[in-house]
Amino acid sequence: MTGAMGSVAHDLARSAIDFAFILLVLWAIVSDFLKLRIPNSVSVGMVLLFVAFMVLLRPSPPWTSHLAAFALVFAISLLLFYFNAMGGGDVKFLAATSLWVGLSALPSFLVVVALLGGAVSLLLLAIRLYTRRFAAASIPASLRPGQPVPYGVAIGGAALVLQYTTEFSKYFAGP
């Protein structure tokens, strides 16, 4: 498509993809917070959405940078999973999100994930001290003492920060 109509269609497609991205990330965040579980459909959806984005909106996509980021993060995260340092849902969600980031912004993305992960951990420590008085069934899994940190919250938060902050938005789905 050319002209104004092509531009409108492009803008609508971009808006729809952005909206779907936000929904998938929020689904992962809420699910991990409430149940300490990130559904496989979130990670699969993020990969499929990325493919749609690259096919529909990029004339000559630099796929290699994004695939390399995905492979690198997946391989390292898989090692962490093997040593019980990371959950399986976190591995898949982090890799799928890294696919969107690409190699150029991967270091920034991982730093933001780590910072948010630390903040979430500290916040949960404080909240868990307070929630010890409540019945375990009445509070979300992530707030129960002794449970792991829902790292999907940090991964999703970093994805949203990097996609929608002026400084980093150029990296998302960029070369």
List CB contacts of 93: < 8 A, sequence separation 6 or more.
28, 38, 42, 43, 46, 152, 155, 156
Q: What is the mean pLDDT of the chain?
A: 87
Structure-model confidence comparison of residues 126 and 76, the more confident one: 76
Let me know if 163 is exposed, middle or buried by CB neighbors in 10 A (0-12, 13-18, 19+). buried
Instruction: Specify the higher pLDDT residue, 36 or 58.
Output: 36
User: Which carries the bigger pLDDT value, residue 155 or residue 128?
Assistant: 155
| 128, 130, 132, 135: CA torsion to nearest 10 | -100
Mean pLDDT computed over 80-89: 96
38-47, 104-113, 127-136: segment of lowest average pLDDT = 127-136
Tell me the average pLDDT across 12-40. 95
